[in-house]
Structure 1
């Protein structure tokens, strides 16, 4: 609930907000919206807190590679140094035998706020979740994305069985599949005749 999020953000809890890509603690805020690698690192460290995270896992997350070499390890050290500098008022990032660990200053807890749906085309699914049918052009306008980008997302989601279409050409509409054993239209009785 929004009220719970507001209370959490005002508390001394160390909060990694994956919706806005910022880190909060009480009134201090550090934005990592333009630093995706640093945000990936702090999120992974926060999810593991109070444990540490191995260097290989941090490299795989931050640099999107499965096979790390010495250049990746050197780059990880540089990025961890940058993260330490940005988080310095709120937390330390300490080295451990196998990797790194997050150590917030005076915070009793660490929380990661994640979007309700985290997947590649979550924004498209969020718009279709209300049960209404949408045209691809309406989705494109609502998302401020190109029609081709939206069409690729819809095709990918359709292949995964997460959305379905009906109609052809300009009349084609998209929606999420109905829930099995649940009527798609709730039939309510009409108004009773009055005397």
Structure 2
């Protein structure tokens, strides 16, 4: 169960990272503009993988008892035990999933028609909020939950988060420089 849970979570995370990174790359280099249209499909698949991640958790770990999502389950005994970090990380993940659902729901031409292009674009550009929620949720489970256990995903996660941050700052600095000239 844990391997499936992590696999779906990891694939969802990778798809989100790719979706987020396409934006700054396309602003820094015209070669990446062709990938902008992929973000819609990548985002929808990100949502599907995140949904499967949650499904596996509820099926195999929480036994369809939502209280287990909030209270937590002791890994050794299987008993309910309160862990504030676990609770907060799961709540952040739940908010992120709800936000991802909203973005996936409006990732179609019909939504653009109903909302109007500017309103739709405004909502889609707020995917940075989703990114922050997912990074916080993931960081807790990679670095703070079950301390002492090494997870090979830690280093790629940190590298990817750093690369995205550097690219976003590079786009910002470039836009400031271009607006001055």
Name the TM-score, length of structure 1 as normaliser: 0.23
When Rg is computed on C-alpha atoms for both structures, the one with the higher figure is 1
Name the TM-score, length of structure 2 as normaliser: 0.24
The structure richer in helix per residue is 2
